[in-house]
Amino acid sequence: MKLQACLLTMVLLWPATAAQGATDLPTPYPYPEPAWSPYLVGLLIGILVLSTLALAGKKIGASSAYSDAAGMIGRLMAPNHIATLPYYQESKPMIGWTLTIVLGVIMGSFLAAWTGGELTGTYLQDMWIARFGADSGLLRTSVALLGGALMAYGARMAGGCTSGHGISGTLQLAVSSWIAVICFFIGGIATAMLMYRM
Amino acid sequence: MDPASDSHSVPSENFSEERPGQTRDADSEPSDPQKWDWLEASPGKLAAGLFFGLVFGFLLQKGGVAKFDILIGVLLLENFIVVKVMLTAIIVGMIGSYFLRRMGVVELQINETKYGANVIGGLLFGIGFGLLAYCPGTNAAAVGQGNLDALVGVVGLLLGSYLYALSSKFSSGTASRWGKRGKLTLPEIVGISQGRFVAIAAPVLAAVLLLLEAIGF
């Protein structure tokens, strides 16, 4: 618990210290436009989630793909160690439905970006550069690593992510999902405000 | 429709349930990791997952939610693209799943409510989301469109998942026990029928979207 508290403080202070040498973003910031209307995309995602529920009896999720992948890497490197972890005993790391969903997402997004001429190939994105400068690669690496790790830890604790809870669970009116998604946004808004607008 | 789904009727997310009673059994009969399978479902079902994922990823990218700037803008409350995508999907999905469940085509597939774990895990997730800018699904979409920082996101996500599995050895899920309420839905806690709940909630969410448009988002 003490360790978790320390980690949390570090994480909350990190963006503040990182923002010391940052430049103010223009207001309003010139955000890019999506290729398709968000309402059309939302409608189609809603239909997609209903289709997977009806045809495969499964939810669309994403976060457990990373825990399965991490567990499978562990099975190749240290199988006996992985077998001692209660989480992996309960949920054996295998190539499952969610992992194939996430692999499909990578491919589908590539196709969409390719057909729309939106392939990027950049390490630092525009808004990051506008805020932290073009030579902030190390900062981005640490922030992304820490962010990814916290997010996966939180997702496992909360039982899902923005896909599993945020879309599949909320539309089935699950109380756990509505609580989780509200907390996702509270944490995300607070962190983003500290990092980009303070 | 799908006989293969029976073999995995226990959702993997249900870890941390009824743990203490089983620990002894697990110790006296250590599971041999060499005997664990590599495929969790039939190849056909995995191919279906790949296909649904492909459509999902295509839509995420076309919706602009694989873009770093748009995602940070949403968290800064300066654009509402993710909110529009999610609320539209939720409105369509809540109406659709109500009718599909009445017709017996779909069953409820939800996670248990655990107030402690949902809140603490949700907030940790949110902080990570703000730092990385991509969530687990959109991180995969960002990788697909060529955002190289999302590859670091993948490493972080793998690391965090492993740390959770590691901590499951010591914590025995203390926080995830607070406020366990089982598979609870909103109509149940409000105390009205699902149909009536959807009939109220869908127009309310649609009104939120109209309001966003009206004030210039």
| Any domain includes A189 | no
Residue B14's pLDDT is what?
40
User: Does the CB of B99 have a partner CB in chain A at under 8 Å?
Assistant: no
Contacts of B87 (CB under 8 A, 6+ apart): A42, B205, B208, B209
pLDDT means per 10 residues, chain B with 217 residues, are 38 38 40 86 94 98 97 96 97 96 92 93 98 97 98 98 91 69 93 96 97 92
Q: Is the dihedral of CA B34, B11, B166, B137 positive or negative?
A: positive
**DSSP string for A79-124:** HHHHHH-HHHHHS---B-HHHHHHHHHHHHHHHHHHHTT-----SS
- In angstroms, the separation between the Cα of residue B201 and the nearest Cα of chain A is 10
Residue B134's pLDDT is what?
97
| Any domain includes A35 | no
User: Does the CB of A187 have a partner CB in chain B at under 8 Å?
Assistant: yes
Chain centroid to Cα A29, Å, comes to 23
Residue B75's pLDDT is what?
97
The mean pLDDT of A156-164, rounded to a whole number, is 94
| Any domain includes A82 | yes
B178 and B115 Cβ atoms separated by less than 8 Å: yes
| Any domain includes A31 | no
What are A32-82's pLDDT values in tens digits? 999 999 999 999 999 999 999 999 999 999 999 999 999 999 999 999 999
| Any domain includes A3 | no
Q: What is the ipTM of this complex?
A: 0.91
Average pLDDT, whole number, for chain A?
92
User: Does the CB of B160 have a partner CB in chain A at under 8 Å?
Assistant: yes
Contacts of B57 (CB under 8 A, 6+ apart): A104, A105, A106, A107, A108, A109, A110, A111, A112, B140, B141, B144
> Which among A182, A167, A17, A125 is positioned nearest to B87, based on CA atoms?
A167
Q: At A5, is the pLDDT very low, low, confident or very high (cuts 50, 70, 90)?
A: low
| Any domain includes A116 | yes
Residue A56's pLDDT is what?
92
Residue B35's pLDDT is what?
85
pLDDT score of A116 more than 90: yes
| Any domain includes A75 | yes
User: Does the CB of B21 have a partner CB in chain A at under 8 Å?
Assistant: no
Show which of residues 120-159 on chain A sit within 8 Å of chain B, judged by CB atoms: 120-128, 140-141, 143-159
| Any domain includes A97 | yes
User: Does the CB of A112 have a partner CB in chain B at under 8 Å?
Assistant: yes
Domain ranges, residue A117: 62-121
Chain B CB contacts of A39 under 8 Å are 84, 88, 209
Nearest CA in chain B to A113: B145
- If one compares A128 and B180, the residue with the highest pLDDT of the two is A128
Q: How many domains does chain A have?
A: 1
> Which among A84, A156, A100 is positioned nearest to B159, based on CA atoms?
A156
Instruction: In whole angstroms, give the CA distance from residue A67 to residue A23.
Output: 36
- In angstroms, the separation between the Cα of residue B82 and the nearest Cα of chain A is 8
